Amino acid sequence: MSNILLNQLADDFAKLLLAGKVEEAADKYWATDVCILKPAPAKGDEPIQITGFVAARETLSIWLSHNKMEDISIDGPFITGNQFALFIDMQIVDLVSGKRRDFAEIATFIILDNKIIEERFFY
């Protein structure tokens, strides 16, 4: 993948996230065999790994049905090779309780054939 195409993909993906269009970004850019890696939910637990578009999309939809992202800011994309990273800050609102919390993460993405094959989150 040329750097120009990767830059365009990374920029568009970041713009969709910034606009709160997380599902649209996933539908547009996730590969069918995408792998999502997240930190363990609690100390001593194993990290979370979700494999495949259907499982990842279902997990995302469930999360979005319980949470709302607001006040999103993104630094990046920072690109190297076939990868890019985003520094993401936001407020997450629990849709049941209305409780708000600040949240920050670093997200890295590996691209193959113009699709995201891996997302890895650090928070």
pLDDT tens digits, one per residue of 41-99: 888 888 999 999 999 999 999 999 999 999 999 999 999 999 999 999 999 999 999 99
Kindly report the pTM of this predicted structure.
Answer: 0.92
Closest among 15, 13, 57 to 33, alpha carbons compared: 57
CA dist 100 and 102 (Å) reads 7
For the chain, which residues make up each domain, given as ranges? 3-122
pLDDT in tens, 4-55: 799 999 999 999 999 999 999 999 999 999 999 999 888 888 899 999 999 9
CATH class name, domain 3-122: alpha beta
2 has pLDDT over 70: no
pLDDT confidence of residue 90: 97
Average pLDDT over residues 101-107: 97
Provide the 10 A C-beta neighbour count for residue 58: 12
